[in-house]
């Protein structure tokens, strides 16, 4: 089944304009609204032109020997050495990026992660990737049970994810926008902090040849594109 924007609006009892704005990134739902929209979208398997125009588009910059690449789409689809999970410090995987990773990669990812927790906020641990195309999942703890985060926690989580990649000698890694979902940090702030940590890491020591920022929607893509 595939719903049009108007049919989805009728299903949710809202305006077609609201659905259109959600698809283009102008409307950023939170909490129950975000979960409801996600559930309806998954069940309907809908695609809209507003999403498809930029989906998969790559913008690249080369810093020393490392390529920084922007990608709009699903991080779980990427074939890289590791994808980063926006985790809580208990390492259980609920919604958002974590939920998508668990659904596609398998519950064994969460089971392995939980055995390694809890960890300090800002730290990161590595697990297998189950059925994902990636080889590893790096669980970066950006928040605790209070679901609150800030620039410092995002910076530490990014830095420690990069250090785990260095320790394993990985050549490619993909990040989501850490702290921009449940943490509600502004996308421009997240982009600045994460780009800064990646730049510092590359300038110091790295085995990474490609760093990908996998941004799910248009608003996130534009924020990282402006920072890059």
Rounded Cα distance between 15 and 6, Å, is 8
Choices 3.40.220.10, 3.40.50.700, 3.60.10.10, 1.10.287.70: CATH for 58-227: 3.40.220.10
Q: Is the CB of residue 83 less than 8 Å from the CB of residue 100?
A: no
Residue 216 in tokens: 């799910």
Q: How do residues 196-206 score in pLDDT, each as one tens digit?
A: 999 999 999 89
In the chain, what are the domain boundaries?
5-52, 58-227
pLDDT averages per 10-residue partition of the chain, 228 residues: 65 67 53 61 47 63 91 94 97 91 96 97 98 97 91 98 98 96 89 97 95 92 92
pLDDT of residue 61: 87
Residue 102 in tokens: 């668990």
Q: How do residues 67-98 score in pLDDT, each as one tens digit?
A: 999 999 999 999 999 999 999 999 999 888 99
């Amino acid at each position: 089944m595939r719903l049009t924007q108007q049919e989805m609006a009728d299903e949710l009892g809202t305006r077609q304009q609201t659905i259109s704005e959600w698809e283009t990134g102008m409307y950023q739902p939170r909490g129950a609204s975000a979960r409801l929209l996600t559930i309806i979208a998954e069940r309907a398997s809908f695609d809209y032109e507003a999403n498809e125009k930029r989906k998969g588009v790559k913008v690249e910059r080369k810093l020393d020997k490392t390529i920084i690449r922007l990608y709009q789409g699903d991080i779980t689809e990427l074939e890289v050495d590791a994808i980063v999970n926006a985790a809580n410090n208990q390492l259980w995987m609920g919604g958002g990026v974590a939920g998508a990773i668990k659904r596609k990669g398998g519950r064994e990812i969460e089971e392995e992660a939980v055995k390694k927790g809890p960890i300090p906020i800002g730290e990161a641990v590595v697990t297998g990737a189950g059925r994902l195309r990636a080889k590893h999942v790096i669980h970066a703890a950006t928040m605790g049970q209070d679901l609150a985060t800030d620039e410092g926690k995002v910076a530490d989580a990014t830095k420690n994810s990069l250090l785990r990649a260095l320790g394993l000698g990985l050549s490619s890694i993909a990040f989501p926008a850490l702290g921009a979902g449940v943490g509600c940090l502004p996308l421009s702030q997240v982009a600045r902090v994460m780009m800064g940590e990646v730049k510092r890491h590359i300038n110091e020591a790295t085995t990474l040849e490609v760093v990908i920022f996998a941004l799910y929607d248009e608003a996130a893509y534009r924020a990282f594109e402006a920072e890059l």
